[in-house]
């Protein structure tokens, strides 16, 4: 149950006045299921607040940085900057993984589930920082650790999802708009698995699987980018 938040504060060069807020930011709901008498609170309310603070600060920054860009482009840039993959990578680089308060079961999971927990934790941390010290310190933290990723995201078009990216490349290189075809649907209604193939004209380039047609199409497009060497 004990974790050294002092070492984390030193690493990020921020000292909390309310240490309980900092601890709460790292407390996953599953931890309280195993420690019901701890009297602690999980981080979901802080995550809710931090998500809003993060979105405002990022939106403000993008609005000023790209005066010529459309609302659609700015929305895409923001989505790429605050998605679970990006936030989890920042959280990991800050060593947040070492301070998470999780159940024994959650602590063993290091895949996609852990990525989402880390993304939620950094949002909760931003919410805690905002409550503890106000808007400007929260903005400074986000500026220091998140904004430096933006140039790479824009330059490498990481703001495009796989399907959009594959379509753009296909139209640019071969002059064809990709089409998608559902190959199979298996499983009961509440747990279906879809397989979708992506075509360039009559050429079947790749296929992908997912729990929805949209997810399967994204996976197919991602595979197709690899097959064509268009990443």
| Predicted local confidence at residue 161, as pLDDT | 76
Look up 73 and say whether it is catalytic: no
Long-range contacts of 181-186 (CB under 8 A, 24+ apart): 182/213, 182/216, 183/207
What does the CA dihedral 151, 156, 160, 161 come to, rounded to 10 degrees?
-120
How many residues appear in the chain? 231
What secondary structure letter does DSSP report for 13? T
| Predicted local confidence at residue 15, as pLDDT | 96
Look up 34 and say whether it is catalytic: no
Residue entry with tokens 């809003």? 52
Residue 10 dihedral angles phi and psi, to the nearest 5°: -65, -40
| Number of neighbouring beta carbons within 10 Å of residue 75 | 14
Does 47 show up as a binding residue in the annotation?
Answer: yes
Residue entry with tokens 């071969």? 174
Residue 201 φ/ψ region, left for φ over 0, alpha for ψ in the -120 to 50 degree band, beta for the rest = left
Does 120 show up as a binding residue in the annotation?
Answer: yes
**Do the Cβ atoms of 119 and 100 come closer than 8 Å?**
no
> pLDDT of 183-196, one tens digit each?
999 988 877 889 99
The answer to whether the predicted template modeling score (pTM) of the entire model surpasses 0.75 is no
More reliable by pLDDT, 31 or 159: 31
**What is the domain partition of the chain in residue ranges?**
5-155, 162-228
The active-site residue, picked from 123, 132, 161, 217, is: 123
One of 2.60.40.1180, 3.30.160.20, 3.30.70.1060, 3.40.50.720 is the CATH number of 162-228, namely: 3.30.160.20
| Predicted local confidence at residue 146, as pLDDT | 94
One of 3.30.870.10, 3.40.50.1820, 3.20.20.10, 1.10.1520.10 is the CATH number of 5-155, namely: 1.10.1520.10
> Would the CATH topology of 5-155 be identical to that of 162-228?
no
Among 100-109, 136-145, 207-216, where is mean pLDDT lowest? 100-109
Does 123 show up as a binding residue in the annotation?
Answer: yes
Q: How far apart are CA 203 and CA 121, in angstroms?
A: 44
The active-site residue, picked from 4, 34, 44, 51, is: 51
> pLDDT of 41-96, one tens digit each?
899 999 999 999 999 999 999 999 999 999 988 988 898 889 888 899 999 999 99
């Amino acid at each position: 149950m004990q974790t050294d938040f002092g070492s984390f504060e030193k690493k990020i060069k921020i000292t909390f006045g309310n240490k309980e807020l900092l601890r709460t930011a790292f407390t996953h709901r599953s931890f309280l299921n195993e420690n019901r008498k701890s009297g602690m609170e999980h981080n979901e309310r802080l995550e809710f607040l931090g998500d809003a603070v993060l979105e405002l600060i990022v939106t403000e920054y993008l609005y000023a940085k790209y005066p010529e860009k459309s609302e659609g482009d700015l929305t895409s840039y923001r989505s790429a900057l605050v998605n679970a993959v990006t936030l989890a990578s920042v959280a990991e680089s800050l060593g947040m993984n070492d301070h998470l308060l999780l159940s024994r079961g959650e602590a063993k999971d290091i895949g996609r589930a852990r990525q989402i927990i880390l993304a939620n934790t950094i949002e909760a941390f931003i919410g805690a920082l905002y409550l503890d010290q106000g808007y400007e310190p929260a903005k400074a933290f986000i500026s220091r650790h998140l904004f430096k990723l933006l140039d790479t995201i824009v330059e490498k078009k990481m703001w495009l999802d796989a399907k959009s990216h594959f379509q753009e490349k296909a139209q640019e290189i071969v002059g064809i708009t990709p089409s998608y075809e559902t190959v199979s649907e298996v499983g009961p209604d509440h747990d279906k698995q879809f397989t979708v193939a992506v075509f360039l004209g009559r050429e079947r380039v790749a296929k992908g699987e997912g729990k929805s047609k949209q997810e399967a199409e994204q996976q197919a497009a991602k595979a197709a980018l690899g097959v064509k060497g268009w990443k």
